[in-house]
Amino acid sequence: MLIKKCLTALLTVTFVVGSQLAQAANLPDFSELAAKSGPAVVNINTEKMATNGGSEELFGEMFRNIPPGFERFFDQFGGKRDGKRPQSKQKSLGSGFLVSSDGYIVTNNHVVADADVIRVTLDQDNGKSESFTANLIGADEETDLALLKVDIKKDLPFLNFGNSDELKVGEWLLAIGNPFGLDHTVTAGILSAKNRNIHAGPFDNFLQTDASINPGNSGGPLLNMQGQVVGINTAIIASGQGIGFAIPSNMAAKIIDQIKSGKKVSRGWIGVTIQDVEENTAKALGMKDAKGALIGSVMENEPAAKGGMKDGDIILAVDGKNIDDASALLRAIAEKVPGSQAIIKVWRDGKTLDLTVTLGERQSASQASAGNKGEAKQNEGMLGISVRPLNETERRDMKIDKNEGLLIVDVAANKPAAEADLRPGDVILKANLKPVNTSAALSKIVNDEGVKRGAIMLQISRRGDVYFRTVPLGK
């Protein structure tokens, strides 16, 4: 009996060990993929003259999306001295990858934004690395993508985009980049989830992976097992481990093609305010499932209104593609070419209707701040900003009431507005809770109340988020 028990235990151990060895034997080997793809991945470092900001320079992208109010905690690491931040040369590191043999490189916009000098380090055939100055061809802030170009008189290794829509959760992926400045670091993991919205921008549709991604990986490729780029590594959660986010290749490829062809990145627009459909809303309207995008309002004389859409309609599909929520609608319309027609299926009065809408063009916040240069702008000397009134197109795109809104065009260094983290592209809605839409109105509040009290509280809109900034002023 004892011998029988021992034999049974031995066979069990043998079976478990054998099973584990079989599983290990089935694990993928990434060595060939890494060796083949690595030479097309580049190190990017930039330089710019900037006001010392402490937290942003030290922590980089980890805290680039800190909610308002929290970023001040990190100032202790970079340090304000005597209430002033001196100008200095600021450096940053990131990653990128070649997408053509003639030197075009894809990376994140936040890696190269506002850089005075961009240098790209490539591995040479002799095993050594060499740096080259790169030119910024173009960028799209809303999707955080940028295209660079290096001029080298030889063919360079490059990577091709794959189809991110075909990815399946649980699929093996490989990330290559330069985390913490350590070039050509390779990490592997799986696709953890698709269609993630982390509120980094209006078109969030990230791939989530547990492949280790750290500061410096931004702009590097996320590869499938065929060596195709299925994502561009972009963001991490500072408080989490094993969670990284990448821009899907199908989204990125379209944007990069527009930038490379010299075209302005353009997106469709229909002119509605939208929100998700909740279960109670679906029940009230007689719908089986809580899916689609509920139209809160239809703007007058905009494409949706001209196409017959009404407040309370629920958009279920665009050109036959199902719309699950408001974010999906925003992406579906933005992907289409302005001037083209879209067949939009809506739920109204207990039945579906197909409406044909000719799309307008969406104007981004960055286009708004950079455009309309001929319009008058006025300086607010005490605050250290230049502002101008919003035009009707900007009000429409930013959904801002006609009685409020001043666009910040410039922010002077070492001035109160810069210290309070006001930025070009921000829209001042109210000053001390009073609506402002002219420079004179803002100046009056600053001079009458701000100087007297030693500070002024501004309500601002930044990329769709609204919050308050208090700007200290000298008495």
- Residue 164 annotated as catalytic: no
Q: What is the DSSP letter of 250?
A: H
Q: Name residue, tokens 């095993």.
A: 127
Q: Per-residue pLDDT averaged across 274-290, rounded?
A: 87
Contacts for 179 with CB less than 8 Å, ≥ 6 apart: 185, 212, 213, 214, 215, 216, 217
Q: Which domains does the chain have, with CATH numbers?
A: 34-149 (2.40.10.10), 164-260 (2.40.10.10), 268-361 (2.30.42.10), 365-472 (2.30.42.60)
- pLDDT for residue 14 is more than 60: no
- CA–CA separation, 39 vs 363, rounded Å? 38
Which residues does the annotation place in the binding site? 47, 110, 144, 216-218, 234-238
Top-confidence residue, 13 or 149: 149
**Identity of the amino acid at 78:** G
Q: Which residue matches tokens 């494409």?
A: 303
The letter for the amino acid at 22 is: A
Q: Which amino acid is at 464?
A: G
Residue 135 is predicted with a pLDDT of 93
Mean pLDDT across 257-261: 90
Residue 170: pLDDT band (50, 70, 90) is very high
Binding positions for substrate are 47, 110, 144, 216-218, 234-238
Rounded to 5°, the CA angle 291-398-271 comes to 50
Question: Is the model's pLDDT at 173 over the cut of 80?
Answer: yes
Nearest Cα to 396, choosing from 360, 355, 426?
360
Judged against a pLDDT cut of 80, whether residue 239 lies above it is answered with no
Yes or no: say if 172 and 28 are a contact pair by the CB < 8 Å rule: yes
Q: From residue 224, give the alpha-carbon distance in Å to each of 28, 162, 273.
A: 12, 8, 37
Among the listed residues 144, 204, 397, 426, the single catalytic one is 144
Residue 300 vs residue 144, higher pLDDT: 144
Overall average pLDDT of the 141-167 stretch? 92
What is the rounded distance in angstroms from the CA atom of residue 408 to the CA atom of residue 267? 24
Single out the catalytic residue among 55, 92, 110, 364. 110
d(C-alpha 362, C-alpha 371), whole Å: 13
Mean pLDDT, rounded, for 263-284:
85
Q: Rounded to whole angstroms, how far apart are CA atoms 105 and 157?
A: 11
Where is pLDDT greater, at 361 or 345? 345
Q: 7: Cβ–Cβ under 8 A, 6 or more apart, which residues?
A: none
Which of 238, 248, 240, 251 has the alpha carbon at shortest distance from 61? 238
Max Cα–Cα distance, the chain, nearest Å: 99
Asked whether the beta carbons of 158 and 134 are under 8 A apart, the reply is no
Higher pLDDT, 49 or 470: 470
- Who wins on pLDDT, 65 or 7? 7
Residue 68 pLDDT grade (very low, low, confident, very high; cuts 50, 70, 90): very low
Which residue is catalytic, options 218, 249, 386, 461? Answer: 218
pLDDT above 60 (res 74): no
| Among 76-80, 363-367, 419-423, 460-464, the least confident range | 76-80
Residues near 415 by beta carbon (within 8 Å), at least 6 away in sequence:
383, 384, 385
Tokens 């937290």 correspond to 55
Q: For residues 210 and 190, give the distance between their C-alpha atoms in angstroms, rounded to a whole number.
A: 6
Q: State the average pLDDT for the chain.
A: 80
* Lowest mean pLDDT, pick from 45-59, 315-329, 414-428: 45-59
pLDDT of the residue at 141 = 86
The count of other CB atoms within 10 Å of the CB of residue 132 is 14
Task: State the DSSP H helix or E strand holding residue 300, giving kind and residue range, or none if neither.
Answer: none
Establish whether 218 is a catalytic residue: yes
Do 436 and 378 touch, CB atoms closer than 8 A? no
Neighbours of 185 (CB within 10 A): 20
Separation CA 242–CA 28 (nearest Å):
19
Give the whole-angstrom CA distance, residue 232 versus residue 407: 32
pLDDT, position 86:
54
Please name which of 374, 378, 398, 386 lies closest in space to residue 462, comparing C-alpha atoms. 398
* Residues 213 and 236 sit within 8 Å (Cβ to Cβ): yes
